Structure 1
Amino acid sequence: METQTGNNITEFLLIGFPTRLELQLVLFAVFLIIYLLTVIENVVIIITIKCNVKLHKPMYYLLSSLSFLEIWYVTVTVPNLLNTFLTQNNKISFFACMIQLYIFISLACTECVLLATMAFDRYIAICFPLLYPVIMNNTFCLQLTIGTWLLGFSVALVKAIFIFRLRFCGPNVINHFFCDISPVLNLACTDMTFTELVDFILAMIVIMIPLVMIIITYICILWTVVKMPNNLGRQKAFSTCVSHLTVVIIFYTTTLFIYARPKKAGPYNRNKLVTILYSIITPFLNPIIYCLRNKEVKQSIKRSLVTLHGMVLGTLMSSAAR
């Protein structure tokens, strides 16, 4: 296999969303607002969980890990897209492109495994409630989280190494708004059959195995919930799972469409729209979904806002008194 040393390409051109300048400014404002709200939402969740003792539980610890991941997920792609809208400079160096590709797929792989870990947490909590504090202790929860991130970044590293070793000799135009696997592979000028096969196998492993685990855990959860003697217990069990299941459905339907294909698709514009759903819209919606469906998180955020409001008022009043 030829290596990157024979490359004629030193930079790529990201097509992004080629439209009129007026529309690009509108898109800049829209994506900027979504990005800022996404970061703020997830930071609020992390701080709320950190500062409220009642939320120091494995479920919320994993949720804060997901929020931390989502912040980086949008930060890898959106700022560069905003810069393109504003400056019309759509160039990205070969090295920066490979780094962006690696970090993005690392976070995507990590999210797949993390969602499965969160499903496992709900499975233990509902199916084995008496053993839950013993099994999901702080040490094991920390080990699960670290293992999730290590696995995601390790799988992505293998995928990135095979892509990095390909030879790129032109054209250098990527029909996407960031360096993703499919559009980058479309530009390779060497035989990439083996690289595509490795990428597909790893994608199936990191996507399908966690997905199968999630499906199995929810089948077990459903079976346990159905056997519960009262409606109140069923409602409480379902309420802790609905948010996670909603996030899983949104994330996996779009991810499977893009990555779980044995042959890389052509650079169709519809792929960019689907990518926006799971790389920008989903991180924006996740905090809203979890907060709307979770009373503990909603109440904790309200208490934090009331406390913050009181502190601000107190500071203003003391300043005015001086």
Structure 2
Amino acid sequence: MEKKSQILEILSDGGWHDREQLSAQLGISGSELEVQLDSLRRSHPELRQVPELGICLPREPQRYDRRLLEALAGGPVEVFDTIGSTNDAARELFEQGAPHGAAALADQQTAGRGRMGRSFVSPSGTGIYVSVLLTTPAALENAHLVTPAAAVVTAGILERFTRAEIGIKWVNDLFCRGKKISGILTEAVVREGKPAGIIVGTGINFATPPELLPAEMAGSLREDLMPGASRNEVAAAMVREMRDTLPELVRSRSFLPEYRRRSILLGRLVRVLPVGQESYEATAESIDEEAALVVDCQGRKIRLQTGEVSIRVFE
């Protein structure tokens, strides 16, 4: 039996195999094993190598593997099969004294939510639903910048694992090909009457088939995924970069040029939907240094820090 076939037979259990033990079992050197693995990856892009865990050919590439997630994220990740909301789970972690970067991840949510109290449909096996707790001073002192910075972080991660181009609709929605593929909900957690943490919750229609999408404007990255791209790697990258990268982005405001570049609103006619007020039409003009959207309504400049903007009626 040729070596590649032997390797596939050994890895067929879907578990993790120590690299040195695998070399010994096959009777080949480590360098020769690497040559064989490189060849196998061309036909099995889901093949994974992680120094802390070994080598694995997962039976179900999209199934969450906690050991893999934590190795790739560089820290603990609470993984749930089904949960009401990962933001609620992250809040519980905070109450239990969890540190900065604590994360909750679910295969399915039964009570996922978005901004303005909307529900977020979260079917199992195809989406990514992850919440990360931030407690650094940089995040807390710039809380109003966390959502737009998180949008930039998420867009960059998704483009690494897909062939998609990701745009951002102020303030918290990610779009691909005119469809919403992700939303971000940040919520404060309070201790002794003072903000002590921020939960960044992200829902992504990663490999969601069209029949499970809830609305006409909802989309999925399913057709844009790179070969072998898995929920484990994307979710781990989300945890790692929200924890390690986002606080410095908000402190320095260095995410703003990319946030503006990715905007799908600037220069377009939009409908502004202020909270508790009548909607009106305006032109989205700019995004300022505080990530507020500046619109022009019949020659009057209006700076929006809250509320919502719609482009649907103008498509």
Coarse TM-score class (shorter-chain normalised): under 0.3
Larger helix percent? 1
TM-score between both structures, scaled by the size of structure 2: 0.24
Larger strand percent? 2
TM-score between both structures, scaled by the size of structure 1: 0.24
Structure number with greater CO (CA < 8 Å, separation at least 6) is 1
